[in-house]
Chain A
Amino acid sequence: MIEVYCPPPYFVPTGDPIGGANFTSLATGLNFALLGWKAFQSEIVACENRLESRVLSSSASLDESDKAFFVSLCIWFLNMFKGYRAAAWKVSYFLAVIGMACGVAMLFEGIASPYGLILMLPLTMRVFITWIPLYGLIAWMRIGTSIMKTLSKYRKAQAGIKSFALEAGKQVSDVDKRS
């Protein structure tokens, strides 16, 4: 048995597990999940577009040296955001599956249908509220650590050019002198 949080005023059992009302419940649950999914997708795409245009307009007002760093930082950020979006898709799929599972559960439990929509609401909200900030937080942590890691890796690598040039130069000169 799947336990679903149901506020008491909306919990209306019919006691008829195969009544038409229960199929409506399944359809309503699924429909609601799909609507949420669609809205979520379009919001993320819009957010990404807003971000992209903000990046371009902001970079135009910076001076040259800052601009380069800012541009590469933003490219990183956009890439990470795309990663976040991919993760968000997974959440929305999860949402749709939950909608279906909930509808099926309601069907078997014999919970009344027109209220399926209302029953779905706290559950859906819970998924949104729990998962989205978590993914956001993970995405920001990944951005931070990836920038720090990459910068330190390049700093070390750039410092390695000098020692490589000296060592290889010495190797070539020594052979020159011997010959």
Chain B
Amino acid sequence: MPSKRNEKELDNYRQTVERLAELDSSEVFSNGRPEHAAIIFSTFLKHAKDRVVIFCQNLSREVFDDPCVLSNLESALDRKVKVEILTQESPAATNFLAKEKSWKEQGLPISLKTAAKGSPVAEVNANFAVADGKAYRFEPKRVKVEAFACMNNPEAAADLVNLFGKMYRAVA
């Protein structure tokens, strides 16, 4: 059960990330907890207009079963934002998986692929997500939930989107 202080801190973090997204800021900011990651993904999805790509280890429950992430993902899909997800291991977020199945049945633009065990994609050390070719979240070491993110860096985002494309095509 999160403490009041913890909730307040998360609320401050959410407001800051929201503000940076609204300002289209190129300032880089850090995130060191799964709750922070959930806030960043949720903000990406809330502000996305075109496409969101996510490359992660296993769609952790702490992040992708977060109600805020799920509701913002649903509304992004309703706005016809294309969401592509590539995981390195079998997804863990059960609520997400159940919803993803129903979204696919409704014909919403979501796709989920999982890399084969031992394949080069499964061995990539870093994880990342990119929204609309300009906002990104980059986790240099997937074993540590320590990442940095930026709401407006098209250059870095393009590098990551290109890599995502290559990896996505490499996974059957």
Residues of A in contact with B (beta carbons under 8 Å apart): 64-65, 67-69, 71-72, 75, 150, 154, 157-158, 160-162, 164-166, 168-169, 171-176
Chain A contacts for B24, CB-based, 8 A: 64, 68
B25 touches A168 (CB 8 A): no
| CB < 8 Å neighbour of A168 from B23, B124, B150 | B124
How far is it, in angstroms, between the C-alpha of A146 and the C-alpha of B49 when the chains are bound? 35
Q: Would you give the shortest CB distance from B91 to chain A, in whole angstroms? A: 21
Instruction: Chain A residues near B153: list those with CB within 8 A.
Output: 158
A150 to B29, CA, bound (A): 9
Among B1-48, those with CB < 8 Å from A are 16, 19-20, 23-30
When A157-B140, A172-B166, A173-B166 are in contact, do A67 and B23 touch as well, CB less than 8 Å?
yes
B108 interfacial by beta-carbon distance below 8 Å: no
**Are B159 and A165 neighbours in the complex by a CB distance under 8 Å?**
yes
Closest-CB distance, B20 to chain A (whole angstroms)? 6
**Given contacts A64-B23, A157-B148, A175-B119, could you give 17 more A-B pairs where the C-beta distance is less than 8 Å?**
A68-B25, A68-B26, A71-B20, A72-B20, A72-B25, A150-B30, A154-B28, A154-B30, A160-B140, A161-B159, A161-B160, A165-B159, A165-B163, A168-B126, A172-B124, A172-B167, A175-B170
Docked complex Cα distance between A175 and B26 (Å): 35
Distance of A131 Cα from B19 Cα, bound (Å): 36
9 chain-A/chain-B pairs, Cβ below 8 angstroms:
A68-B20, A69-B27, A158-B150, A161-B138, A165-B163, A168-B124, A168-B126, A172-B121, A176-B170
A-B contact count (CB 8 A): 78
Contacts A157-B148, A158-B153, A172-B167 hold; do A72 and B29 have CB atoms under 8 A apart? yes
Residues of B within 8 A of A68 (CB): 20, 23-27
Query: Which residue from chain B places its CB closest to the CB of A163 in the assembled complex?
Result: B159
Residues on B facing A (Cβ under 8 Å): 16, 19-20, 23-30, 119-121, 123-124, 126, 136, 138, 140, 148, 150, 153, 156, 159-160, 162-163, 166-167, 169-170
Q: In the assembled complex, which residues on chain A have CB atoms less than 8 Å from the CB atom of B169?
A: 176
Bound together, the chains give a CA A68 to CA B160 distance in angstroms of 23
A85 to B27: give the CA distance in the assembly, Å: 27
Taking CB atoms, residues of chain A closer than 8 Å to B138 are 157, 161
A69 to B123, CA, bound (A): 36
Q: How far is the CB of B170 from the nearest CB of chain A, in Å?
A: 5
Pair B28/A157 contact, Cβ less than 8 Å: yes
Chain A nearest CB, measured from B45 CB (Å): 21
Q: How far is the CA of A72 from the CA of B140 in the complex (A)?
A: 22
B165, chain A: closest CB distance, angstroms: 9
Contact call A169/B166, Cβ cutoff below 8 A: yes
Which are the 5 A-B pairs with shortest beta-carbon distances?
A68-B25, A165-B159, A154-B28, A165-B163, A161-B156
Q: A165, B25: Cβ atoms under 8 Å?
A: no
Least CB distance from B42 to A in Å reads 19
Chain B residues near A69 (CB, 8 Å)?
25, 27
Q: Bound complex: CA of A166 vs CA of B153, how far in Å? A: 17
Most chain A CB neighbours (cut-off 10 Å) among B25, B140, B150: B25
